[in-house]
Amino acid sequence: MLKQMELTAKKSSIFLIGFMGAGKSTIGKKLAHRLGLTFFDLDKLIEAKAGCSISDIFKFLGETAFREMEQACLQTFQTKDHFLLACGGGSPCFFDNLGFMKNKGLVVYVDLQESVLFERLSKAKKIRPSIVGMDEKQLKEFISNQLKARMPFYEQADLSMSGLSINVNGIVEQIAQFAH
């Protein structure tokens, strides 16, 4: 279910935040279509600008360079309206990205339990640069530690929703009703 935080005004742009594997891109595409917004995936924009994959950015340039590229791509939305942006899992946790998002639009946190994230990420370890090569124990610890560190940022979202309690179409419908 959706949990309303404090929302001062209805906003025409939406930022989806949450841990990697939470379903932000899947939900985002459907929600953007339903609301008539243009959909963007921040990681895809970074890859297009860099001319290489997120994995390669991490491998050859490191996380700091990736976070700087992420912030630069996010800032390109300063002059845009009527969009939905699916953000990377760490996007709201660096620089003042979360403040930018909250000032620019509606921030929605897609929340999933650690066990579900583990199940999803176990199947995607080869394509997720920060978890490549982790065994089961390492992955569980990584998810737990990262969630603890990121939760203070995630909890500042305007809305919070469970990615599992209802189907994607139900989530899209509830956010659509709230946003308009």
Q: What is the distance between the alpha carbons of residues 72 and 172, in angstroms, rounded to a whole number?
A: 28
Answer whether 33's CB lies under 8 Å from 39's CB: yes
Residue 167 pLDDT: 60
pLDDT along the chain (180 residues), means of 10: 39 90 89 90 97 91 95 96 95 97 94 92 78 90 96 94 67 66
Alpha carbon of 90 to those of 45, 52, 76, 123: distances in Å?
Answer: 15, 19, 18, 20
**Residue 114 identity:** E
Residue 20 pLDDT: 93
pTM of the prediction? 0.87
Number of H helices, E strands in the chain: 8, 6
Q: Within 80-113, where are the H helices?
A: 97-104
- What does DSSP assign to residue 74? H
Nearest CA among 71, 88, 87, 79 for reference residue 39: 87
Q: How many residues does the chain have?
A: 180
Q: What CATH code would you report for 2-179?
A: 3.40.50.300
Q: What is the distance between the alpha carbons of residues 36 and 19, in angstroms, rounded to a whole number?
A: 25
Residue 132 pLDDT: 81
Residue 2 pLDDT: 42
How is the chain split into domains, by residue range? 2-179
Residue 80 pLDDT: 94
107 phi and psi angles, rounded to 5 deg: -105, 125
**Residue 173 identity:** E
Residue 130 pLDDT: 81
